Amino acid sequence: MVHDPAGLGFETRAIHAGQQPDPRTGSVIVPIYQTSTYAQDGVGGTREGDYEYSRTANPTRTALEEALAALEGARHTLAFASGMAATDAVLRTTLRPGDHLVLGNDVYGGTFRLIDKVLTQWGVDYSVAHLSDLDEVRAAMRPETKLVWCESPTNPLLGIADIAALAQVAHVGGARLVVDNTFATPYLQTPIELGADIVVHSTTKYLGGHSDVVGGAVVTNSDELREQLFFLRNSAGAVPGAFDAWLTLRGLKTLAVRMERHCDNAERVVEALTRHPKVSRVYYPGLAEHPGHDVATKQMRRFGGMVSFDHADGERAALDAAAGTKLFILAESLGGVESLIEHPGRMTHASVAGSLLQVPAQLVRLSVGIEDARDLIADLEQALG
C-alpha cells in the first residue's frame, strides 16, 4: 500500500523505523531521554542535527517522528503535545488574517471550537460543507480559501470523503488539503498517497492505543511546510515530553495487530446492532448500504473500530443506554484497547451545539476495543434492554 523505498511491510516499519538499538548501550528499545538540555562540544560548536534543548528536539521524540513518517509513507512528521496542539500548529502555519478555510460538517468538536472561537478572532473565516458532496465543497470555496479540512471517517457520524477527489478540488482552488487521520490511522488509510498535503493525528487515540497518553502529530511531504511547522513548534513550545513520546512509540509497535482486532470486533458489534429492535440506524462505513461504502472500500484497508448508532426510542433512551453498559466505559476519547461508549450530543460534541454542525440527539458512539466480541455484544444487549 505505502510506497517504501526499503520495501518493508507496515508491521516491520512500525517496529523498526527510527528505532535502531541505542548506539551507546545497545538498548533494544529507544531510551526515554528524560533531559531538558544537552552538553555542547564548545561555545557555538553545535553541529547541524545535534541536540541542544528538548523544546527544539529530543531523541525519543525523533524516534517517534521517524516511525510515524514511515507508517504514513511521508517524508516528515512532527510530534506535538496533543492532537489539538498539532491542529493549532497547522492552522497557524497555513492561514493568515483574511484567509478562509472549508471544513467538514461533522468535524471533531475541538477542531470546530478552535476555528470558530479562536481562529476567527485573528481574522480567519470558515465555511462548513458536506465533504462527501464535491459540488458543495466547490461552492464553499473562495479565492481566499487556503485550506480544506477533512476527516474521513468523520466523528461521530462515520461519514466518508473521497480523499483523492477532495485533494483535486482543493488544489484546483489553490488550497491545501488537510486530513485528520485519527480515526483510520495509517494502517487503514494513507492520505498523503491519496494527494493530501498534510495529515494530522491525535496520537492519544489508536496510535498510542492504551488510553494512557495525550499527544498529536503533523505529517507532510513538503520540506517548506515542515520548516514552518518546526519553527512554530519551537517558538510556541507545544512539544510532548520524552516519556509521552516513548509511550506513543510503544503503542505504534502493535498498531497493526490492534487495528485488525478493532475491525473484527466492530464488524461483529455492527452485525448485532443491525438486527437489534432498539437500534434504528447503524453508522459504519463497512455496511454495504452506507453511502460512502464504495469510496471507503477504495481508499481504506478495512473500516475501523468506531461505530455509531441511533437509539430507536430517542434521546432519553440513548442516554440511558450509554450509561447502562458494564464493560463499555462511559467516557470521551477513543482508540484504546478497552471499549468506550458516549453520547456525542452531550459529551464530545456539546461544544458544537447550536452551530451548523448537527449531531442527532439519539446518537450513541462506540469505540470498540479488543476484548472478546461476545462479551461486548452481550453488554450492549443488556444496556439496550
Ligand X SMILES: *Cc1c(COP(=O)(O)O)cnc(C)c1O
Whole-angstrom distance, CA of residue 55 vs CA of residue 29: 22
Please, is 108 exposed, middle or buried when counting C-beta atoms within 10 Å of its C-beta (0-12, 13-18, 19+)?
buried
Q: Which of the ranges 5-13, 40-48, 178-186, 350-358 carries the binding residues for ligand X, by CB under 6 A?
A: 178-186
Answer yes or no: 108 catalytic. yes
Answer yes or no: 205 catalytic. yes
Answer yes or no: 281 catalytic. no
Give the active site residue among 106, 116, 180, 379.
180
Which of residues 64, 68, 84, 207 is near ligand X by CB under 6 A? 84
Nearer to ligand X (CB atom), residue 176 or residue 278: 176
Q: Which of the ranges 36-44, 125-133, 176-184, 240-248 carries the binding residues for ligand X, by CB under 6 A?
A: 176-184
What string of DSSP letters covers 184-214?
A: THHHH--TTTTT-SEEEEETTTTTT-SS---
Give the active site residue among 61, 99, 108, 244.
108
User: By the 8 A CB rule, do 365 and 341 touch?
Assistant: yes
Nearer to ligand X (CB atom), residue 180 or residue 193: 180
State which H helix or E strand residue 122 sits in. Answer: none
Nearer to ligand X (CB atom), residue 158 or residue 272: 158
Instruction: Give, as ranges, the residues between 299 and 318 that touch ligand X (CB under 6 A).
Output: none
Q: Give the three cell numbers for residue 55.
A: 523544546
Q: Which of the ranges 17-25, 30-38, 48-56, 180-188 carries the binding residues for ligand X, by CB under 6 A?
A: 180-188
Sorted by sequence, the CB contacts under 8 Å of residue 116 that are 6+ apart come out as 126, 355
State which H helix or E strand residue 97 sits in. Answer: none
Give the active site residue among 205, 226, 233, 278.
205
- Note whether 180 binds ligand X by CB under 6 A: yes
Q: Give the three cell numbers for residue 267.
A: 464488524
CB of 181 to ligand X, least distance (A): 9
User: By the 8 A CB rule, do 62 and 230 touch?
Assistant: no
Answer yes or no: 284 catalytic. no
Going by their DSSP bridges, the two strands 100-104 and 125-129 should be labelled as parallel
Binding site for ligand X (CB under 6 A): 82-84, 108, 110-111, 151, 155, 180, 182-183, 202, 204-205, 214, 216
Q: Which residues are catalytic?
A: 55, 108, 180, 205
